[in-house]
């Protein structure tokens, strides 16, 4: 007597699908064995840390420069907290912030030392540079002129004023010797 003789056509089809599914799964069961020696896929070793020789020298220099800038910035901010009127620290911090393209913060730093160094030509010059970077050339020119009242022979102030005038679209101012001077800020 046949076991499958009592099944109708639909039952035979479902039984056939089950047999096909089982026959498809049997070859895959060999991959699920716990015997790792029989596996054909090799495990990859964990990644190793890159050594100094593996990092591009230009990339290493950029990383060190950025880390150094932030460390310098932190140190200078602490120095300014301890000595609020420290013009040297304020100007160094301003340079660091401008190098990071943060002129608004640089201006705040300079404004913080302004009460104790209102007529300091270095502070006035630095503020002028920040205003020039922000495109406020008329404000910058006023600051350069104010600083020149205290140090009329300061060539850097004269050059920055000339550059600001040129950036502002005005004709360059003539120096006392009659020659024009428009050099970059150093």
Residue among 98, 49, 105 nearest 80 (CA): 105
The span from the CA of 172 to the CA of 17, in Å, is: 91
Give the per-residue pLDDT at 57.
Answer: 72
Rounded mean pLDDT of 49-72? 66
Task: Record the tokens describing residue 19, joined without a space.
Answer: 């047999």
Task: Record the tokens describing residue 98, joined without a space.
Answer: 């401008």
Count Cβ atoms below 10 Å from residue 19 Cβ, excluding itself.
10
| pLDDT-derived band at 25, boundaries 50, 70, 90 | low
Q: Which residues contact 100 (CB under 8 A, 6 or more apart)?
A: 69, 73
Residue among 182, 141, 142 nearest 162 (CA): 182
| pLDDT-derived band at 181, boundaries 50, 70, 90 | very low
Rounded mean pLDDT of 6-31? 65
Dihedral angle computed from the Cα positions of residues 91, 93, 98 and 102, in that order, rounded to the nearest 10 degrees: -130
Residue spans of the domains in the chain: they are 57-167
Rounded mean pLDDT of 11-39? 63
User: Could you name the CATH architecture of 57-167?
Assistant: Alpha Horseshoe (1.25)
The span from the CA of 114 to the CA of 74, in Å, is: 21
Q: Can you list the alpha helix ranges (DSSP code H) found in 46-179?
A: 57-82, 87-99, 103-113, 121-133, 137-150, 155-167
Rounded mean pLDDT of 168-180? 51
Task: Record the tokens describing residue 31, joined without a space.
Answer: 């991959």
* Whether the predicted model's global pTM rises above the 0.75 cut: no
């Amino acid at each position: 007597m046949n076991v499958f003789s009592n099944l109708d056509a639909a039952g035979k089809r479902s039984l056939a699908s089950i047999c096909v599914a089982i026959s498809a799964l049997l070859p895959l069961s060999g991959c699920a064995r716990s015997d790792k020696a029989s596996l054909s896929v090799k495990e990859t070793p964990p990644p190793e840390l890159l050594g100094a020789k593996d990092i591009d020298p230009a990339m290493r220099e950029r990383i060190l420069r950025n880390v150094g800038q932030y460390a310098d910035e932190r140190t200078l901010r602490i120095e300014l907290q301890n000595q609020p009127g420290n013009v040297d620290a304020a100007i160094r911090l301003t340079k660091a912030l401008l190098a990071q393209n943060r002129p608004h913060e640089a201006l705040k730093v300079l404004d913080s030392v302004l009460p104790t160094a209102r007529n300091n030509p270095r502070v006035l010059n630095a503020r002028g540079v920040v205003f020039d970077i922000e495109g406020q050339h008329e404000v910058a020119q006023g600051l350069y002129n104010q600083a020149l009242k205290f140090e009329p022979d300061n060539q850097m102030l004269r050059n920055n004023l000339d550059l600001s005038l040129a950036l502002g679209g005005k004709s360059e101012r003539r120096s006392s010797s009659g020659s024009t001077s428009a050099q970059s800020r150093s």
